[in-house]
């Protein structure tokens, strides 16, 4: 298996190097997407299937589509990406110093010290957490406050983007140049929905859960947005509904944390008999919120300007 690891390492180094060192804006972005896919394979090799699912959907798919959409909006003066200064000392010396520093740090901190984890503690509390899969239990119950703050960070990002400018209208495809694209996006959407429901259902007992599910539904929604199949998001009448839907995940999370406080006396302390129901409710709301927020990132501004 070391040969596979070596191949993955070389592929990651090659894509990252091409992304950061070679000229050409489009090449850099496509190499970043390839790098995301290689990282997803590395997560699988390191026994982290949850991370692999999220990375494949977000790191390779959604980040790449965000960057490509932004590239299309850039003025001509910004479309050139200069050659990096390759001369020997400029790149070589700082990279060597940082590699030696981090390498020694990793060796001292990770490889030579005994590795302490929370494996036994998690296994002991898992039956009382309301989920059978450890990562889901940590995300939505044991360290639920982290996830609550993360949803708040995403909502802040949406608010920051909306305060900058009006939404960029979707490109006019008009069915002339790309006759199959709009139809294909519409026909593929049930498949995205099916995958979303499968990940949600699987999340309580196996790798899956709110994050990969939200990422998959968000990716499908982005495809629909780019082919202008979602018009309600741009219409003024639906703007209040959109705002409520965006904040639904955070509001439900806050309500859960407060009801845990009322029932057990600690913030987010869910009582074990009811924890399973709470986890399902938060999982669905979080996944829908993540999907909708990932979709609104693509507008690069505030929608709701159409009558």
Partner 1 sequence: MKHALSHLAVTTDVLFALLAAFLIALSLVSIFTARHLIRRLLALNILSSAVFLLLVLTARTADGIDPVPHALVLTGIVVSVSTTAVVLALYLRRYRREPPC
Which parts of 101-160 interact with partner 1 (CB under 8 A)? Answer: 102-103, 106-107, 110-112, 114-120, 122, 134-135, 138-139, 143, 146-147, 150, 153-154, 157, 160
250 near partner 1, rule: CB under 8 A:
no
Contact 223, 202 (CB under 8 A): no
87 binding partner 1? (CB under 8 A) = no
| Near partner 1 in 195-214, by CB under 8 A | 211
**Residue 7 engages partner 1 in binding (rule: CB under 8 A):** no
| Of residues 265-284, those binding partner 1 (CB under 8 A) | none
Determine, following the binding rule CB under 8 A, whether residue 84 of this chain makes contact with partner 1: yes
Burial class (CB in 10 A: 0-12, 13-18, 19+), 236: exposed
Q: What are phi and psi of 204, to 5 degrees?
A: -80, -20
Q: Tell me which of 206, 235, 280, 302 binds partner 1, using CB under 8 A.
A: 302
Residues 6 or more apart whose CB falls under 8 angstroms from that of 175 comprise 182
237 near partner 1, judged by CB under 8 A: no
If binding is defined by CB under 8 A, does position 235 make contact with partner 1?
A: no
CA gap 283, 197 in Å, rounded: 11
Long-range CB contacts (within 8 A, 24+) of 145-148: 145/257, 145/267, 145/268, 147/253, 147/286, 148/250, 148/253, 148/254, 148/257, 148/268
Confirm or reject binding of residue 300 to partner 1 (CB under 8 A): yes
- Quick one: tokens of 267? 């913030």
Based on CB atoms, which residue is closest to partner 1, 39 or 216? 39
CB nearer to partner 1: give 181 or 206: 206
* Stretch of 78-86, 223-231, 237-245, 250-258 lying at the interface with partner 1 (CB under 8 A): 78-86
Query: Which residue(s) pair with 166 in the sheet?
Result: 302
Q: How far apart are CA 21 and CA 14, in angstroms?
A: 10
- Span interacting with partner 1, options 29-37, 185-193, 221-229, 256-264, rule CB under 8 A: 29-37
Select from 87, 164, 172, 273 the one that contacts partner 1 (CB under 8 A).
164
Q: In terms of Cα–Cα distance, which of 263, 268, 258 is closest to 142?
A: 268
Q: Between the CA of residue 146 and those of 11, 67, 142, 268, 276, what are the distances in Å?
A: 33, 27, 9, 11, 19
User: Kindly report the CA angle at 26 between 184 and 223, in degrees rounded to 5?
Assistant: 20
Site for partner 1 in 35-64 (CB under 8 A): 35-36, 39, 42-43, 45-48, 50-51, 54-55, 58-59, 62-63
Q: How would you class 197 by CB atoms within 10 Å of its CB: exposed for 0-12, middle for 13-18, buried for 19 or more?
A: middle
Write down the least CB distance from residue 232 to partner 1, Å: 19
Please name which of 212, 171, 195 lies closest in space to residue 53, comparing C-alpha atoms.
212
Cβ distance to partner 1 smaller for residue 138 or 224 = 138
> What is the smallest separation between the CB atom of 25 and partner 1, expressed in angstroms?
6
Q: Which stretch binds partner 1 (CB under 8 A): 8-16, 173-181, 194-202, 246-254?
A: 8-16
Stretch that binds partner 1, among 193-201, 245-253, 263-271, 289-297 (CB under 8 A): 289-297
């Amino acid at each position: 298996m070391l040969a596979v690891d070596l191949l993955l390492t070389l592929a990651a180094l090659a894509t990252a190097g091409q992304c950061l060192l070679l000229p050409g804006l489009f090449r850099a972005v496509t190499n970043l997407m390839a790098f995301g896919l290689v990282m997803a394979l590395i997560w699988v090799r390191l026994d982290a299937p949850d991370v692999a699912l999220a990375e494949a959907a977000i790191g390779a798919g959604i980040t790449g589509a965000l960057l490509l959409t932004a590239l299309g909006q850039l003025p001509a003066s910004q479309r050139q990406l200069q050659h990096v200064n390759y001369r020997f000392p400029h790149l070589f010396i700082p990279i060597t110093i940082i590699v030696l520093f981090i390498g020694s740090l990793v060796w001292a901190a990770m490889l030579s010290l005994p590795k302490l984890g929370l494996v036994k503690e998690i296994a002991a509390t898992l039956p009382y957490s309301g989920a059978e899969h450890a990562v889901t239990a940590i995300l939505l119950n044991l360290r639920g406050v982290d996830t609550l703050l993360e949803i708040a960070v995403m909502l802040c990002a949406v608010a920051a983007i909306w305060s900058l400018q009006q939404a960029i209208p979707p490109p006019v495809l008009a069915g002339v140049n790309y006759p199959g694209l709009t139809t294909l996006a519409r026909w593929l959407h049930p498949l995205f929905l099916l995958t979303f429901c499968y990940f949600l259902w699987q999340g309580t007992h196996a790798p899956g859960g709110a994050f990969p599910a939200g990422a998959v539904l968000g990716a499908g929604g982005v495809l629909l947005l780019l082919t202008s199949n979602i018009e309600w998001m741009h219409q003024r009448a639906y703007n209040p509904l959109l705002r409520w839907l965006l904040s639904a995940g955070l509001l439900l999370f806050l309500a859960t944390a407060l009801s845990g406080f009322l029932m057990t006396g600690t913030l987010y302390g869910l009582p074990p008999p009811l924890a399973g129901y709470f986890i399902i409710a938060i999982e669905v709301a979080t996944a829908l919120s993540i999907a909708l927020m990932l979709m609104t990132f693509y507008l690069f501004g505030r929608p709701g300007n159409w009558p």
